[in-house]
Amino acid sequence: MSTIYDIAKLSETSAATVSYVLNGRGEEKRISRPTQERILAVAQRLNYRPNVTARQLKSPASSTIRIAAFWPEFYFEQSLVSAMHAVKTVSHLYTEEIEVSVHFFTPGKLSDVWDKMSPVGFNGVILAGASMEDLAHVAGRPRLVPVVLANRRYAGFPSVSIDHEAAGRLACELAFRRGGQSVCTVWDSRFHVATNLRRTAFTKRAEELGLELSESQYMCEGSSEDGYELGRSLIQKGQMKKVLYCNNESVSRGLLTAMNEAGIRVGEEIYLFTANSGPDSFCRFMTPSVTTIDLRMQEVFEQGLKLLLGIINHHEDGDTVTTIAPRYVYRDSMPELVK
């Protein structure tokens, strides 16, 4: 097994300098960027793996597996709850204690926090909601611990993701089946990889079905408040359709409130359904309960966490790519048709 002394020798620097860089203190110690890059490149070439437990020799916490979860700072409130449920479920399956710390980042600017992370402090990383620019940055950097992508796919990385294209197609088919040409859609106004995949698939399927959407696609920030204001505006202008599909469950909550206040009988006069990334209860206990395209995020993160733990313990292949199919969950806002 390689040591920091091996890295120091090959990178032509001191063991102390190597230690500072591997502990994320390179900038603090004013170590030049080329030197830091050289040390990290050598560490990766030697397949260096930080021994977290060795730093805790006599500590009862020596059996703890520490995982860093990198999380986008917007649009992921619901799925983060699903992820925490996944951590709780998976942690009960292992004898080691699993400790997960969440590190927020701005999509497209992951490099601001990624390059400052100390690889010595963690056994592995789960990266969720990254942009293509973020993933390209991580792919071009030395990786001293395993990295598993959650809800993304990128060459060279193990990953677990929902099938976003399938989710978009399912949403379009359900909307058309229940509303015909009387369909409107609400999408997140900020660019987002998963949303864009679903929207592109929805639009393509609409073209195949002959569903005209040019005048009935609306953009909205990803909050209940913005959904509520959009709902009020659509109602006041008479722009509501028979079927309303919303890509964001927080926005759908606001839309539903606006319709309830206007006396619209949701599930009878107008059908509403949404994509759901949070726990099932979030949409189940709305009034009325809301039909969803279930993105199965808890399952995504459970499988992703198991995959990462398997790679850490050398039980899983580091090239594993898993895709999970979305599914319909019918509720009162759009009851299932009885054949």
Kindly report which listed range (1-5, 148-152, 170-174) carries the lowest average pLDDT score.
1-5
Confidence check: pLDDT of 24 > 70 = no
Q: Whole-angstrom Cα distance, residue 306 to residue 300?
A: 10
Residue type at 108 in one-letter notation: G
Q: In what order do the strands lie in the sheet with 65-72?
A: 98-105, 65-72, 124-128, 147-150, 159-162, 321-324
Q: How many CB atoms lie within 10 A of CB 6?
A: 16
> Is the CB of residue 192 less than 8 Å from the CB of residue 220?
no
Crossing angle of helices 164-179/193-209, nearest 10°?
40
The model's pLDDT over 235-247, given as tens digits with 9 standing for 90+, comes to 999 999 999 999 9
CA-based R_g, the chain, Å: 23
The confidence score (pLDDT) of residue 53 equals 46
pLDDT at 9 over 90: no
Looking at 86-90, 119-123, 258-262, 271-275, which range is the least confident one?
119-123
Residue 122: predicted pLDDT? 83
Helix (H), strand (E) counts: the chain: 12, 12
- pTM (2 d.p.): 0.82
pLDDT of residue 118: 63
Which residue is associated with the tokens 């400052």? 116
Residues 6+ apart with CB under 8 A from 285: none
pLDDT mean over 102-127? 84
Give the CB-side neighbour count of residue 236, counting CA atoms within 13 A: 7
Q: How confident is the model at residue 308 (pLDDT cuts 50, 70, 90)?
A: very high
Can you list the alpha helix ranges (DSSP code H) found in the chain? 4-11, 15-22, 33-45, 77-91, 111-114, 132-139, 164-179, 193-209, 224-236, 249-261, 281-284, 297-312
Tell me the C-alpha distance between 294 and 278, whole Å: 9
Fold agreement (1-48, 164-296):
no
Q: 3-class SS at 40? A: helix
- Summarize the confidence of residues 317-322 as an average pLDDT: 87
CA 200/CA 84 separation, integer angstroms: 30
pLDDT over 70 percentage in the chain: 93
CATH number for the domain whose boundaries are 164-296:
3.40.50.2300
Percent of the chain exceeding pLDDT 90 equals 59
| Tokens encoding 172 | 């379009």
The CATH number of 1-48 is which of 3.40.920.10, 3.10.129.10, 3.10.150.10, 1.10.260.40?
1.10.260.40
Domain boundaries, the chain: 1-48, 164-296
Query: What count of Cα atoms within 13 Å lies in the side-chain half-sphere of residue 174?
Result: 28
The phi, psi pair for 253, rounded to 5°, reads -65, -40
Q: Does the structure show a pLDDT above 50 at 313? A: yes
pLDDT (tens digit per residue) in 38-85? 888 888 777 776 654 444 433 444 578 889 999 998 767 788 899 999
